[in-house]
Amino acid sequence: MSERSNESTTLDESHPAAEEVQSDSEEGAMAQESPRNSAAEIPVTSNGQLEDSHEHSFNRDLKRSLPVGLGLSETKITSHGFDSTKEGVVEAGPFPGSSASPKSSVISPSSAAASRLAGQGGRAQQKSGPVVLADEVKNPAMEKLELVRKWSLNTYKCTRQIISEKLGRGSRTVDLELEAQIDILRDNKKKYENILRLAQTLSTQLFQMVHTQRQLGDAFADLSLKSLELHEEFGYNADTQKLLAKNGETLLGAINFFIASVTTLVNKTIEDTLLTVKQYESARIEYDAYRTDLEELNLGPRDANTLPKIEQSQQLFQVHKEKYDKMRNDVSIKLKFLEENKVKVLHNQLVLFHNAIAAYFAGNQKQLEQTLKQFHIKLKTPGADAPSWLEEQVTGVRRELEVVEMAQSRLVLLLAD
């Protein structure tokens, strides 16, 4: 009885600490494994005294959970009054060789402990999330780095090949027939560009001449109205300059059409073919660069270290060889179509240029108009049905002379009366 009363007194004195032990032990017991750590719930009465009916069951469960030969004094009981990070937790581990399994006590977790555990789980998920995102972001970066590495290696090989060719140390692949056609195309382009510059100069000068002729015709027409003595002479010259200006505008339209067609041929069609030629030359340099690397590896020793390099170099060489053959075929096809198109375009434009110039300087306005109609050049020029501007000029002069003669005859009749 004395021992029981002492235990009761001790528990009564530590009652305030026991309540804190109960609240704090609920959180610690949720985090520990149930077979290893189990906490006993000590019920109390309304006045703060321990219930005697549950005391013996608590001690009995505690003794059953202890190993054989281990007394109650050897059990580690942590409470609020002792120095420990886990408060109110009764730690008792099962004996490895014992056949009796410990009975797990009832655990009543609080809402605060559940919220803290949920918060810890959420933080753990947040910490593990960015790892997956980092892997997803890392892949494009590695791909870009790999592309830069391949580009740098390819540029280095091509630069080395170009320098070797310039210094005369390296060999290059040459298609004599194709190279000759490319050289002719580049030379023809320079000549066509020179023709364009001269034709543009002629067009500019002709435009200035037509503008001058139009102004000169207006000046003659003004003087014909103000000078009665030279009315007819100024009138003839005014009509002549105006007709020359009209025919000059027609010729100017034909020349501008010629310039536009040749410009399209040179700056678009030929330029597109030369762009394909540049791609072909780049493919040829890459092909020679990888061919040189393969030849150097084949001349070296063949062992376990060099065989993978030779195989990889052979694959790269085959890829660039196929690219080179494809670009060579593309250049050959484009050169063929360019030659056919060039012959057709230049034939029509040269015929137009010749007929327009010849009709203009021959004074055949009808032929000049027919030339423009033949090539579907629309210009608003009067006198399309007239045989020629010179014949029209002569006819006009004859009519004016007849008018003058009639006026003179009337004047003679008046003087006679």
- The CATH number that applies at residue 302 is 1.20.1270.60
Q: 241 and 376 share a domain?
A: yes
136, 137, 210, 302, 326 from 125: Cα distances, Å = 17, 19, 86, 54, 55
Task: Give the span between the Cα atoms of 386 and 378, in whole angstroms.
Answer: 18
User: In this structure, is residue 160 part of a structural domain?
Assistant: no
User: In this structure, is residue 141 part of a structural domain?
Assistant: no
Q: 383 and 289 share a domain?
A: yes
Q: 78 and 183 share a domain?
A: no
Identify the pLDDT of residue 262: 92
User: In this structure, is residue 301 part of a structural domain?
Assistant: yes
User: In this structure, is residue 139 part of a structural domain?
Assistant: no
Q: 206 and 338 share a domain?
A: yes
Q: 188 and 83 share a domain?
A: no
Q: 244 and 376 share a domain?
A: yes
The domain in which residue 367 lies consists of 176-404
Q: 340 and 226 share a domain?
A: yes
Identify the pLDDT of residue 117: 52
User: In this structure, is residue 303 part of a structural domain?
Assistant: yes
User: In this structure, is residue 205 part of a structural domain?
Assistant: yes
Calculate Rg over the CA atoms of the chain.
Answer: 55
Domain finish residue from 109, 140, 158: 109
Q: 180 and 289 share a domain?
A: yes
Is residue 63 within 8 A of residue 72, CB to CB? The reply is: yes
Q: 47 and 185 share a domain?
A: no
How many domains are there within the chain? 2
Identify the pLDDT of residue 36: 46
pTM of the model: 0.53
Q: 194 and 338 share a domain?
A: yes
- Blockwise average pLDDT, block size 10, the chain, 417 residues: 43 44 47 43 47 55 53 44 42 44 45 54 48 54 86 85 83 87 93 94 93 90 84 87 89 91 91 92 89 85 83 88 92 91 88 89 82 68 50 66 66 63
Identify the pLDDT of residue 194: 94
Q: 185 and 74 share a domain?
A: no
User: In this structure, is residue 373 part of a structural domain?
Assistant: yes
Q: 226 and 356 share a domain?
A: yes
User: In this structure, is residue 165 part of a structural domain?
Assistant: no
